Amino acid sequence: MTVHGGLAPSYALAALWAVRHGESTANAANAEAGRTGSTAPLPGRGADVPLSELGRAQAGALGAWLAGLADGDDVGGGRGGQGDGDDGPGPDLVVCSPYVRARQTWEAMAAHPAVVPPPLLVDERLRDREMGIFEMHPPAALRARSPEEAGRRALVGEWFYRPPGGEALTDVVLRVRDLVTELDRVAPGRRVLLIAHDAIAVAVRLVCAGLGAAFPDRLPPVPNASVSRRVSDDGGRLRLARWGDTSHLGVTPGR
């Protein structure tokens, strides 16, 4: 995703990572629904969805990645991502989504024997995009359940579509901008790791692109357990050093 036309702000933060949680049971179920054509909703709340077995393994691999940062091994450019090879020390503050799958991802990362966990904060603004009446529905369910809503989504585009009772991606950007702005004010000079969701990673990218940045036509992929990293340049702008990298997973990025 290339974002054009932004007047990028200067931040006092030294570095900012956005890590997507490992594969969840809903990710796995939605992938299966895509193969079978099922449109049946999953039970429960989105906030309570846990990691799958694969997701737990991915979270463990993220722990090994985090342990490696103590030695300055955060290099970009691996499978599923892009980077410029910058090294750097690891985070000294973690801010996590309140959702179970994100909390479980961080717990597995922090449990790695070589990791000394930084201070942890949980912030509601890092929750996943709210889908309203379509919460816990597989992607194909929108057209099957409400062709009119599917048509409206196609008409207004993914950035601006707001499902009934839910959020547009533009709404997510607003709350993420508020979070990053507050972090910059209260944690100057800190290296901050966000553990959250794909919509959050995309929103961080747009926020850091700055004032007037155009919404891209397509959403960039953010694989499960992927790492995106921004580092401060000489002007204090948080420059993208790595996007959606999954090289630490070794075999497969999952879904």
pLDDT of residue 220: 79
pLDDT digits (tens, 9 = 90+) for 81-94: 444 444 468 999 99
3 state SS of 123: coil
Q: Taking residues 94-118, what's their average pLDDT?
A: 97
Residue-level pLDDT at 70: 61
Domains of the chain from N-terminus onward: 15-249 (3.40.50.1240)
**For residue 254, what pLDDT is reported?**
47
pLDDT mean across residues, the chain: 89
pLDDT for position 213: 87
pLDDT score recorded for residue 65: 96
Single pTM value for the model: 0.90
Tens digits of per-residue pLDDT, 38-82?
889 999 999 999 999 999 999 999 999 999 986 544 543 333 344
User: Tokens 């910058």 label which residue?
Assistant: 86
Rounded mean pLDDT, 101-114:
97
pLDDT, mean of residues 223-229 = 97
Q: Is the pLDDT of residue 2 over 70?
A: no
* Cross-strand pairs, 229: 17, 242
Residue 167 has what DSSP assignment? -
For residues 185-196, average pLDDT: 97
DSSP string for residues in 8-49: PPP-S-SEEEEEEPPPBHHHHHHHHHHHHT--PPPSS-GGG-
Residue 221: both structure tokens together: 């992929």
Alpha-helical segments (H) within 16-168: 25-36, 53-69, 100-110, 141-145, 147-156
101 has pLDDT over 70: yes
Question: What's the mean pLDDT in 153-174?
Answer: 95
Question: Phi and psi dihedrals of 29, rounded to 5?
Answer: -65, -40
- The CA distance from 181 to 192, in Å, is 13
